[in-house]
Structure 1
Amino acid sequence: MKIGIIGGSGLYDIEGLTDVKEITLDTPFGKPSDAYIHGKLAGKDVYFLPRHGRGHVYLPSEVPYRANIYGFKMLGVDAILSVSAVGSMKEEIKPGDFVIVTQYFDRTKNRPSTFFGNGIVAHIPFDKPTCECLNELIYKACLDEGIPVHREGTYICIEGPQFSTKAESKIYRSWGVDVIGMTNIPEAKLAREAEIPYAAVALATDYDVWKEGEEVNVEKVLATMAKNIENAKRMLKRVIEVIKPEDIENSYAKTALVGAIQTKKGYISEEVMKRLELLIKDRI
């Protein structure tokens, strides 16, 4: 199996990872955030990508999401595991807790969120935006590793890079969301268009700004994130060790484009066919 992992640059320092090398790609959507770090673990190929680039050089709005996901498609990954820092919007989700994301609320404004357009139209189903099969594997891995985890949660994705105002944070809480972040959208949407099973683990670092006396600041976020990363590496190692092809063979992500492309084949230009070949060649 080939497993893709998106997160911070420290994630690839997993115990037991061997044959580490870098793979640089160009995609029809530009260069990904960085080189993919390839290694072997438990007989599987693992590809790590630092979402913000090494040195953290991309704002959430600047991350080349399309290139990142298309690059994973070029590498032939069977699944993508996403790890990201978030703020907690509920008292019971404490800093240091993991939340398995099962729903999204999109508040972004300035990001290309689809591979399609410019001569081709597709509408994918996105009612279940993450892969239930992967979510279960992650949940069990967290339990086995003794990591505090919430089995499901709604992630509201804001544009950033500023944190929320208190008014915004309180309104978001009233909507019933569980965590707040800046990076999972459009990442999850693009993974679905690429028909790659995708799961997201949100690592709570703070209480955003809604909780009096617990207002978010960069120092608190970084301190908690350092602890979360160590837990994330243990969780990822266990998932990689136990995952099998049959675990995701029935993932609905793998057929997301079946019937989704609305443009008739005769109207799709050669340029579009070339740009999206990996996605559409078996779907039109």
Structure 2
Amino acid sequence: MPSMSNSYPPIAIIGGSGLDAFEGLEKPTQHLPINTPFGQPSAGLVHGQLSGVEVVFLARHGENHQYAPHRVNYRANMHALSTLGVREVLAVAAVGGISAGMHNQALVVPDQLIDYTSGRLSSFSDRPDTPVQHVDFSYPFDHKLSQDILQAASGQNIVVQDGGVYGVTQGPRLETAAEISRMEKDGCDLVGMTLMPEAVLAREAGLH
């Protein structure tokens, strides 16, 4: 791995459906997947620059979109990013809108989530040699980073929405009408399949 010499902690961009590759990176360097105690990440990590800022790109579903949401190795992904010295993660996902206030093709920066998934490995603390972490997850997203994203997007020709509750479903199937109705009653504004356990693992790893 090349040294990440930027004086600022490196940033990771995790691409979801529709963003399996990041063609806008300057000086991209492809790397083989890193071995972690939890296996290999979904894809080879790509190191490059974006407007002069060092970033690492990771395709959540694999370079060929071969991993369904419930099959993504979220622990290996987050462990690999943490090993590289990443401190901030921008995770991109294609989601559906539930509440009436959600606009089609908008950039939404959620501020809460509800986890409807099951059976996913959601902690690094599952081995006898790993201390149990009871992380505070009251507010799943870093407020400052969210505000930075909103500010950067405000000058673009896109619809930007501040806040919203992301309901995370198991996938890979889409939800039934009754499930969507229940999620709406629960207060969900968006529905997607990948935010958990990605977000809580980032919190455990000390990533923002």
**TM beyond 0.5:** yes
- Cα offset for 1:162? 0.8
Instruction: Tell me: CA distance 1:5–1:147, structure 2 relative to 1, closer, same or farther (3 Å).
Output: same
Aligned residue number for residue 103 of structure 1: 112
Identity of aligned residues (%): 38
What is the aligned length? 195
Q: Does 1:177 align with 2:188?
A: yes
| Deviations 1:189-224 (CA, angstroms, capped at 9, x unpaired) | 000000010xxxxxxxxxxxxxxxxxxxxxxxxxxx
Determine the C-alpha separation between the residues in 2 that align with 1:130 and 1:101: 8
Aligned residue number for residue 202 of structure 2: 191
Give 2:153's match in structure 1, choosing from 134, 142, 147: 142
Aligned residue number for residue 68 of structure 1: 77
| Deviations 1:158-180 (CA, angstroms, capped at 9, x unpaired) | 10111111111111111111100
- The 5-angstrom pairing of residues 77-88 of structure 1 reads 77-88=86-97
- Cα offset for 1:12? 1.4
Determine the C-alpha separation between the residues in 2 that align with 1:23 and 1:196: 21
Determine the C-alpha separation between the residues in 1 that align with 2:102 and 2:206: 31
Corresponding residue SS for 2:93:
strand
Aligned residue number for residue 3 of structure 2: none
Q: TM-score, normalized by length of structure 1?
A: 0.67
Unaligned runs of 5+ in 2: 1-7
Corresponding residue SS for 1:188:
helix
Q: Does 1:13 align with 2:13?
A: no
Q: Does 1:39 align with 2:27?
A: no
- Cα offset for 1:10? 4.5
Give 1:114's match in structure 2, choosing from 118, 123, 129: 123
Report the aligned-residue RMSD. Answer: 1.2
Determine the C-alpha separation between the residues in 2 that align with 1:11 and 1:180: 23
| Deviations 1:216-267 (CA, angstroms, capped at 9, x unpaired) | xxxxxxxxxxxxxxxxxxxxxxxxxxxxxxxxxxxxxxxxxxxxxxxxxxxx
Aligned residue number for residue 23 of structure 1: 31
Determine the C-alpha separation between the residues in 1 that align with 2:51 and 2:153: 18
Q: Does 1:126 align with 2:125?
A: no
Corresponding residue SS for 2:41:
coil
Determine the C-alpha separation between the residues in 1 that align with 2:49 and 2:101: 37
Q: Is the 8 A contact 2:164 2:188 kept in 1?
A: yes
Q: Is the 8 A contact 2:20 2:60 kept in 1?
A: no
Corresponding residue SS for 2:69:
coil
Aligned residue number for residue 4 of structure 2: none
- Cα offset for 1:115? 0.4
Determine the C-alpha separation between the residues in 2 that align with 1:124 and 1:35: 29
Q: Is the 8 A contact 2:87 2:206 kept in 1?
A: no
Instruction: Tell me: CA distance 1:180–1:164, structure 2 relative to 1, closer, same or farther (3 Å).
Output: same
Determine the C-alpha separation between the residues in 2 that align with 1:69 and 1:154: 23
Determine the C-alpha separation between the residues in 2 that align with 1:169 and 1:94: 17
Corresponding residue SS for 2:13:
strand
Whichever of the two has the greater Rg, that structure is 1
- Cα offset for 1:77? 0.9
Determine the C-alpha separation between the residues in 2 that align with 1:40 and 1:6: 15
Aligned residue number for residue 49 of structure 1: 58
Determine the C-alpha separation between the residues in 1 that align with 2:82 and 2:97: 32
- Cα offset for 1:95? 1.4
Give 1:168's match in structure 2, choosing from 174, 179, 192: 179
- Cα offset for 1:94? 1.7
Aligned residue number for residue 279 of structure 1: none
- Cα offset for 1:53? 0.1
Determine the C-alpha separation between the residues in 2 that align with 1:11 and 1:149: 23
